[in-house]
Amino acid sequence: MLTEYFNVSRSNPTARQYLYRKFPEHFTWNKSKKFWKPRKVKRIQIGRLVYSNPAVGERYYLRIKLNHVRGATSYENLRTWQGAMYATFRQACEVMGLVESDKSLDDCLTESAQFRMPCLLRRLFATIMVFCECTNIQRLWDNHLNAMSEDFHRTCDNSSRIEQMVLRDISYHLTSMGKDIRHYGLPELHLTEEERSRDHYRELTEEQNLGFGEDHLKIVETLNAEQMVGYEEILDHVLKNKGQVFFVDGPGGTGKTYLESFAC
């Protein structure tokens, strides 16, 4: 649908005034022949783009471009701004001012280092990791490690140990926000045996404390015949510790979500 939208924009000057999500108001999609056909009568037709999270990278920035650029004629055209074609959609979004650049995050930490304690800088760094769209966390780390570790330098002169102390404190803040420092590409945090055991025990405790009521145990009695077949198949794999991925398909209203919730 997107590449055909490019084709229409190239051949039909009138179509270039529309955003991709507004296209269905003026054109209809022929599913069998895969082309856009002009509507004879304009109608209110809600168009939408599939949601994309910043963590998926270029697909997210492609979505941003499609929400702001009218009459795009190609992927290259979407990466072009004021005559210059950029290597990535992210770069194109930045020069258009559609996303916050890493420079603003770098400036934020630099300014904060002038009046904030290192412990607060580490908390700010963790907050940026979770809530801001930083493309190069490693570079931000390299630029501000000294400022974030200033207090530790007073009691330790081993650079490797100091780095681990900073990582451990940032990891603490990330954990409080439900995140894992291992997912951000920073230097490896070396956990002690005690810390590994504590993390394992915490995860085990959380699993064991998942509550369920009497009604959860009786819910199997309400499954219909087709749901019961799926339930028994999944349960058999669970009890026998057999790895398997199940895909439950069917029309709306057949109880797919109900079955999935119970099987989980």
Residues 85 and 119 grouped into a single domain: no
Cβ-contact 28, 36 below 8 angstroms:
yes
pLDDT band at 224 (very low <50, low <70, confident <90, very high): confident
d(CA 62, CA 76): 11
Residues 163 and 117 grouped into a single domain: yes
Least confident of 103-112, 144-153, 206-215: 206-215
CA distances in angstroms from 166 to 88, 113, 150, 151, listed in the order given: 33, 15, 10, 10
User: Each residue of 6-16: pLDDT tens digit?
Assistant: 999 999 888 88
Domain boundary among the residues 208, 232, 251 is at 208
d(CA 118, CA 259): 50
Higher pLDDT, 221 or 127: 127
Residues 236 and 255 grouped into a single domain: yes
d(CA 264, CA 204): 17
d(CA 177, CA 254): 37
**Paired tokens of 242:** 């057999």
Residues 177 and 147 grouped into a single domain: yes
Residue among 70, 64, 128 at smallest CA distance from 98? 64
Domain boundary among the residues 54, 69, 95 is at 95
d(CA 120, CA 114): 12
Residues 143 and 180 grouped into a single domain: yes
Tell me the three state secondary structure of residue 68: coil
User: Each residue of 67-101: pLDDT tens digit?
Assistant: 889 989 999 999 999 999 999 998 898 888 887 67
User: Each residue of 7-62: pLDDT tens digit?
Assistant: 999 998 888 898 888 888 888 888 888 989 888 876 666 666 776 656 567 887 88
Cβ-contact 79, 88 below 8 angstroms:
yes
Residues 6 and 29 grouped into a single domain: yes
Residues 186 and 223 grouped into a single domain: no
The yes-or-no verdict on residue 150 having pLDDT over 80 is: yes
User: Each residue of 100-124: pLDDT tens digit?
Assistant: 678 878 888 998 898 889 999 999 9
Amino acid at 62: L
The yes-or-no verdict on residue 205 having pLDDT over 70 is: no
Q: How many domains does the chain have?
A: 3
The yes-or-no verdict on residue 207 having pLDDT over 60 is: no
**Paired tokens of 98:** 């559609």
Domain of residue 13: give its range: 2-95
For the stretch 173-182, contacts whose Cβ atoms lie closer than 8 Å and that sit 24 or more positions apart, written own/partner, are: 173/122, 173/123, 173/126, 173/127, 174/126, 174/129, 174/130, 177/126, 177/127, 177/130, 179/129, 179/130
User: Each residue of 157-198: pLDDT tens digit?
Assistant: 999 999 999 999 999 999 888 888 988 889 999 876 665 555
Domain boundary among the residues 45, 70, 95 is at 95
Sign of the Cα torsion 77, 81, 87, 90 reads: negative
**What pLDDT does 121 receive?**
93
**Paired tokens of 69:** 């650029």
Residues 218 and 204 grouped into a single domain: no
